[in-house]
Structure 1
Amino acid sequence: MTTRPRTARRLAVTCVALAAFATGPAAAPTATAAPGGLAARDFPGSRDAPAVRTLPATLPDGVTDAALVRVAGRGMRTPYTGTAGPVEADARFPVGSVTKVFTDALVLQLVAEHRIGIDEPVRRHLSELIPAAYADVTVRQLLDHTSDLPRPVRVPLDPHGVVAASFAADAAAGPGRTPAPGTVQQYNGLNSFVAGLLVEQVTGRPFVRELDRRILRPLDLRRTALSEDPSTAWAWSEGGLTSTAADLDAFLRALLDGRLLPPAQQRHLFEVPAVPGAAENTGCPTPAACFSAGGLMGIELNGTKVWGKTGSSGGWTSGVFASTEQHRRTAYTLRPGTPATPAQQRARVEAVVKAALTDQSRAGRH
């Protein structure tokens, strides 16, 4: 099921966009009041420590009410963990669409086991759920968001119910619509619902059990689990996880180090389809596609290639990221202030990730 890396690979993860799908109110991370500014443990020997600390040290402000930032990687004897506002360093928080990366890793493990093919039609396994019009949609297209599936109906149903209701609503809104999979990238949470159901169908076991035995237990992610809060639990394989910054960092490190996927499948983490992005695509900073066949976004910050995923749920915006050049990883959660605009929130996420993962000396040259 897992393969140890043959060599240490120079891989990465970040993104700078808020997730499109906020899954409703959820319990806030365990919080304690902070007097203002960042409560941080320094990481000795890191020349980038000031850049990482400068921005969070100004929080909370009108854009961000609370922040938790963790940075780890090369040049750091210990990880840096800092907080601002009412949130603790070991807080558990809803990670929203970061859940998609866990789900995609499960699917790619099944590809590695030859139980499904990445270019195999999904309908072969879910014929009673996927309409005939979508018979050509492949597993790869679910993962890289080029499936042209309808948008999810945001109703608190079981996963089968969410998918069925979404197809029904699409048929009613556009009767006779001809899907065009593989032609454009549209970030879409329904892909992840279908991917979770595919895991269940192929393994014959509940998604939550496969998640536990394939990822959570092997990596000792004891504080990561699907939410039990009804307002977020229905997001399931699309956005239902809760976790901590330390657990998210451990997952990211294992994913990039090759502990979850063999090389043949790990390369899919960085394969972005050569298609345009939809005009309303969430997160991609250019008109081109940016999501890979492993659910990660690939972009450049300060001339550094970074990959990763954000998520938004329960009033918190979270993310996991890594940098190829700086060999750094970060995990964070931010609580937006009121009345912070989406553009301000997006800029704040980008500023945090830049400070954590990129060479600040390049900022003026790119």
Structure 2
Amino acid sequence: MDNDFLATTTARFAVPGAAVGVFHDGEERFFSHGVTSLENPLPVDEDTLFLLGSVTKTYTATAIMRLVVDGRVALDSPVREHVPELRLADGRECTVRQLLNHTSGLDWGTMVSTGEGDDALRRHVEELATLKLVGEAGERPSYSQAGFNLAGRIIENVTGQTYEQAITTLLLEPLGLRNTHFDRDAVMTRRFAVGHEKGEVARPWRHWRANNPGGGIAASVADVLRWARFHLGDNGLEEMRRPTAVLRGSNLGDAIGVCWFLREIDGVQTIGHGGSSNGQFAELLIVPSRNFAVVSVANQGPDGIPFNQAVVRRALESCLGVVDRDPEPLPYNASAASEVAGGYANDAMVMTIGDTGSGLVLEVLIRPEIRESAEVELPADHAPFPMGLLPRDEYVLTSGAFSGQRGFFSRDASGAVVGVDLAGRTFGRVR
């Protein structure tokens, strides 16, 4: 890993600005390239703030674990013990652990802003009464932003502080993470990156406050690497690395611990989490057995994801000799293609899998009614992605911004395809 590789890779993916941190052999190394914004450019360095998106979930889960260690929360206690105001569509009960490993059965989330006041999470919990349920609690993983926002409300009710204040008290101040922030006023008085979509500045900079527990942190790669080193240390949080739910057909990992995605790469066990916000992307990977961590952040969509993947793979190979490769798809089969082609949907998005006669193409769009009702501008939809089938009803995207993304199809008792998973999110078949 070096600055020449970073410069070449940012050019390859047309990323305006990026920063990378690597911890290896007991040393921290930082690499940066490009600018914070195409409209108001400043050089990116290791102290530039980037939105971490869902990497924030690791902070939320760690704060919950701190409360568990203190005896104030039990992982297998019902969520309603800590959030008595919670009402779900079917009177659903789920546990704290099921929120943190995405097995609560809650759909991805709501697209309703509940404002920027200190009551944002409380009001968000009220909205969850309308949220679709995608399975029984504990049945299987399905990635849920709403679940982590609800975990943030647990933290508020248990500590008596706002979520952001509690994270600061429990984690940021004790760990000396002085360049990690939620508040826009704190961010705007420091050097920070803005997102881009296909060469244009992406607005808004971030979405509403109720999404903070699942994706609201802005931090420098220096601080994120310090965060990774905390998780490499002897911190009493080993429970977070133990598998709690198996993942199938997922490039996120082989299993989920308490928030962390657990994955074996080239025979080596890793933990990690990625994140995306409006035109900003982050990837954090930790190899506990090698005392190694790498974080990569970029400010351009849709290619920030493959950019970060390329950086992480380079760091793994150059530092540890660990090689990460995408699986090879099966040859096109018309009968297999016809089984999966068609429409799928969840609360937020619709998916179409088309059969071209020589291959399959997957397209995912934000629901038109959600775009129309959104109080802020939502990210642009992506162009369709070529995809190939894998054994055991799995698939892989073969090119485009999400090349290498894996998922799988679900069947009913009769053997008919009734659903598809993409990036840990469940889509039901539409007939």
When normalised by structure 1's length, the TM-score is: 0.71
Distance 1:222 1:233, change over 3 A: farther
Name the residue aligned to 1:27.
none
Contact 2:141 2:245 in 1 (8 A): no
Name the residue aligned to 2:388.
none
Query: For 1:185, which of 115, 125, 141 is the aligned residue?
Result: 141
SS at match of 1:141: helix
Query: For 1:363, which of 314, 323, 328 is the aligned residue?
Result: 323
One-letter code aligned to 1:208? E
The alignment status of 1:240 with 2:216, answered yes or no, reads: yes
Q: 1:53 deviation in Å?
A: 4.8
Name the residue aligned to 2:272.
308
Distance 1:85 1:199, change over 3 A: same
Query: For 1:215, which of 152, 171, 178 is the aligned residue?
Result: 171
The alignment status of 1:253 with 2:229, answered yes or no, reads: yes
Distance 1:136 1:225, change over 3 A: same
Contact 2:106 2:134 in 1 (8 A): no
What do the CA deviations read for 1:187-246 (whole angstroms, capped 9, x no partner)? 111111110100111122222221111111111111111142884352211111111111
Name the residue aligned to 1:323.
287
What do the CA deviations read for 1:277-307 (whole angstroms, capped 9, x no partner)? 5x8x7x525xx5x3221x1111133332221
For the residues of structure 1 that align with 2:134 and 2:267, how far apart are their CA atoms? 40
Contact 2:149 2:213 in 1 (8 A): yes
Q: 1:68 deviation in Å?
A: 0.8
Contact 2:107 2:142 in 1 (8 A): no
Contact 2:225 2:295 in 1 (8 A): yes
Name the residue aligned to 2:129.
167
Name the residue aligned to 2:369.
none
For the residues of structure 2 that align with 1:310 and 1:64, how far apart are their CA atoms? 20
SS at match of 1:214: helix
Larger Cα-atom Rg: 2
**Unpaired runs of 5+ in structure 1?**
1-50, 171-176
Contact 1:323 1:357 in 2 (8 A): no
Contact 2:107 2:134 in 1 (8 A): no
Name the residue aligned to 2:69.
112
For the residues of structure 1 that align with 2:154 and 2:294, how far apart are their CA atoms? 30
Richer in strand (by share): 2
What do the CA deviations read for 1:123-169 (whole angstroms, capped 9, x no partner)? 12222223383543111111111111133112221223333223314
**Unpaired runs of 5+ in structure 2?**
37-43, 115-119, 186-203, 327-431
Q: 1:349 deviation in Å?
A: 2.3
For the residues of structure 2 that align with 1:275 and 1:364, how far apart are their CA atoms? 20
Structure 1 outlier segments of 4+, above 6 Å:
none
Name the residue aligned to 2:7.
57
What do the CA deviations read for 1:81-115 (whole angstroms, capped 9, x no partner)? 11122142121111111111111011111111111
SS at match of 1:164: helix
After TM superposition, list the pairs within 5 Å mapping 1:283-362 onto structure 2: 283-284=251-252, 290-293=255-258, 295-336=259-300, 340=302, 345-358=304-317, 361-362=321-322
Q: 1:362 deviation in Å?
A: 4.9
SS at match of 1:319: strand
SS at match of 2:112: coil
Name the residue aligned to 2:240.
269
Contact 2:283 2:309 in 1 (8 A): no
Name the residue aligned to 1:36.
none
Distance 1:84 1:201, change over 3 A: same
Distance 1:151 1:164, change over 3 A: farther
Distance 1:364 1:313, change over 3 A: closer
Distance 1:220 1:102, change over 3 A: same
SS at match of 2:184: coil
Distance 1:52 1:307, change over 3 A: farther
One-letter code aligned to 1:284? L
What do the CA deviations read for 1:294-334 (whole angstroms, capped 9, x no partner)? x1111133332221111112311112222234322122211
SS at match of 2:264: strand
Query: For 1:143, which of 85, 100, 108 is the aligned residue?
Result: 100
One-letter code aligned to 1:307? I
SS at match of 2:323: helix
For the residues of structure 1 that align with 2:298 and 2:325, how far apart are their CA atoms? 28
Measured on the aligned residues, the alpha-carbon RMSD in Å equals 2.7
SS at match of 2:84: coil
Contact 2:287 2:293 in 1 (8 A): yes
Q: Which moved more, 1:348-357 or 1:94-103?
A: 348-357
For the residues of structure 1 that align with 2:325 and 2:64, how far apart are their CA atoms? 40
